[in-house]
Amino acid sequence: MRNPLLPDDVYAAIDKAVAKYPVGQQRSATKAALMLVQRFNKGYLTTPLMDAVAEYLLLPPIAVYEVASFYTLFESEPVGVYKISLCTNVSCYLRGCEDIKDYLFKRLQIKFGETTEDKRFTLKEVECLAACTQAPAMQINGDYHENLTLESIEKILAELE
Ligand code: FES
């Protein structure tokens, strides 16, 4: 059943995701549905929104909460306009992500898990982004930025300000 919290275009996109799986396997579209709902809700999920997804996919709410809490790409609190997800896993570590982390902390005046006062940037520490051959890597709102250097980071941030 559709919930008035979500507009028709979000439901249409969820239907498309569900259609990729065999009939009765709509559970497989849970992650895609949550991504669509999170995008609609300016970057984070709420319990009523997750419940709406569960109701629509005919799942117990816990099945949706489990997916939302497992993946670091999902947020349960409001985030800044730009969510920076910096990988600190082994390849990125060996290629200097610590320097990039220190630079971002200083440049944005926040630490991992925090949002700047002006609500423009949220900084997250994430595990491998599957971009190890281009380490160090980060995502901003899901877009990849690879082979990072302090110079390239500064250029990227300057373009977002
Ligand atoms: S370790 Fe950073 S992208 Fe894989």
Place 112 in a pLDDT band, splitting at 50, 70 and 90.
Answer: very high
Token pair, residue 140, equals 């901003």
The residue extents of the domains of the chain are 8-70, 82-160
Specify the pLDDT at position 94: 97
Residue 104 has pLDDT above 90, yes or no: yes
Residues 6+ apart with CB under 8 A from 19: none
Residue type, 80: G
Positive or negative: CA dihedral 17, 22, 26, 28: negative
* 92 Cβ inside 6 Å of ligand 1: yes
Specify the pLDDT at position 78: 95
Specify the pLDDT at position 52: 98
* Most informative mutation of 72, 86, 91 for ligand 1 (most atoms within 8 A of CB): 91
Token pair, residue 80, equals 């800044």
Residue 161 has pLDDT above 90, yes or no: no
* 86 Cβ inside 6 Å of ligand 1: no
Ligand 1 midpoint to CA 130 (Å): 6
Ligand 1 midpoint to CA 152 (Å): 18
Ligand 1 midpoint to CA 154 (Å): 20
Place 105 in a pLDDT band, splitting at 50, 70 and 90.
Answer: very high
CA distance 152 to 149: 5
Model confidence pLDDT, tens digit, residues 114-159: 999 999 999 999 999 999 999 999 999 989 999 999 999 999 999 9
CATH class of 82-160: alpha beta
The helix/strand/coil state of 139 is: strand
Residue 19 has pLDDT above 90, yes or no: yes
* 129 Cβ inside 6 Å of ligand 1: yes
39-to-27, 44, 45, 101, 105 alpha-carbon distances in Å? 19, 7, 9, 26, 26
Model confidence pLDDT, tens digit, residues 40-81: 999 999 999 999 999 999 999 999 999 999 998 999 999 999
